[in-house]
């Protein structure tokens, strides 16, 4: 719909609203650019040296310029107060209930995204920084009863379609930024903080591949904060599945976990 802006495909329930605001801001900026550009050209001609050999120390008194400036400021304040802030508030004031959402912890590190599901008991197991190793990047304490069924993964975020996804986002080392372009999600991951971010994916990966005619398409997780030398390779994928496929994946993970024990 808003393809003229070159936006990525939209695949979440709130994407349309964000795109509308992006378009609105672009149009406003275009009007300002043309308006102020024309004013600048006018001033160049009007106050050229040839027509004004002596400087006027009182300066020019332009009513139109002043009222235009005030009008632009009012429009900008209105956009912020009545559009941008309320739109942001709907994202950060209320979060989906945990029992109605796919709750997943995502922990950024140099240079990967660790993914942690609570498993069948819906309780996240204890994690401890002392247990962090290359085999256990989340430092998950498997001796904790809540951790027994926990599923972990790296750079692969499986989620079911049309159900809220509640990501509890944090970082192990430096500030990263969790960017899902097709979902119109971007949130900094900050060490020492757990920040909730949510979205409702509306198009499965398979469906999007068909829609775009790109069989290899993936919803990418990009780190959108320059976080170190390997920043460029800090990428993951979101695999949006049908509820059945997602459940199948969860069951497989649980089976692998039981086999490993
Ligand atoms: Cu990063």
Tell me the per-residue pLDDT of 72-105, one tens digit each, with 9 for 90 and over. 899 889 988 998 888 888 888 889 988 899 999 9
Task: Give the Å distance between the CA of 187 and the centre of ligand 1.
Answer: 12
pLDDT for 79 equals 83
Residue 59 predicted with pLDDT over 60: yes
pLDDT for 53 equals 86
Rounded distance, CA 171 to CA 110, Å? Answer: 9
DSSP string, 125-192: PPB-GGG--SS-TT-B-TTSGGGTT-EEEESEEEEETTS-EEEEEEESSS-EEEEETTTTEEEEE-BT
Task: Give the Å distance between the CA of 152 and the centre of ligand 1.
Answer: 19
Task: Kindly state the average pLDDT of the residues 201-205.
Answer: 96
Task: Give the Å distance between the CA of 227 and the centre of ligand 1.
Answer: 5
Between 33 and 54, the more confident residue is: 33
Q: pTM (2 decimals)?
A: 0.84
pLDDT for 2 equals 56
């Amino acid at each position: 719909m808003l393809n003229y802006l070159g936006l990525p495909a939209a695949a979440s329930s709130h994407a349309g609203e964000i795109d509308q605001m992006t378009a609105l801001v672009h149009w406003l900026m275009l009007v300002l650019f043309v308006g102020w550009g024309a004013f600048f050209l006018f001033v160049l001609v009007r106050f050229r040296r040839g027509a004004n050999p002596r400087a006027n120390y009182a300066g020019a008194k332009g009513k139109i310029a002043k009222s235009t400036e005030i009008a632009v400021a009012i429009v900008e304040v209105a956009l912020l107060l009545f559009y941008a802030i309320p739109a942001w508030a709907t994202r950060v004031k209320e979060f989906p209930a945990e029992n109605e959402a796919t709750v997943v912890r995502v922990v950024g590190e140099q240079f990967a995204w660790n993914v942690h599901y609570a498993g069948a008991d819906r309780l996240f197991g204890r994690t401890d920084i002392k247990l962090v190793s290359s085999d256990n990047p989340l430092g998950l304490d498997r001796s904790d009863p809540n951790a027994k069924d926990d599923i972990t993964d790296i750079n692969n975020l499986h989620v079911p379609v049309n159900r809220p996804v509640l990501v509890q986002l944090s970082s192990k080392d430096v500030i990263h930024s969790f960017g899902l372009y097709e979902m119109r999600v971007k949130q900094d991951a900050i060490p020492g903080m757990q920040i909730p971010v949510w979205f409702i994916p509306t198009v499965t990966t398979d469906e999007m591949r068909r829609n775009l005619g790109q069989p290899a398409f993936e919803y990418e997780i990009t780190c959108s904060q320059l976080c170190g030398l390997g920043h460029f390779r800090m990428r993951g994928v979101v695999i949006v599945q049908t509820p059945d496929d997602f459940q199948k994946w969860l069951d497989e993970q649980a089976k692998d976990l039981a086999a490993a024990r």
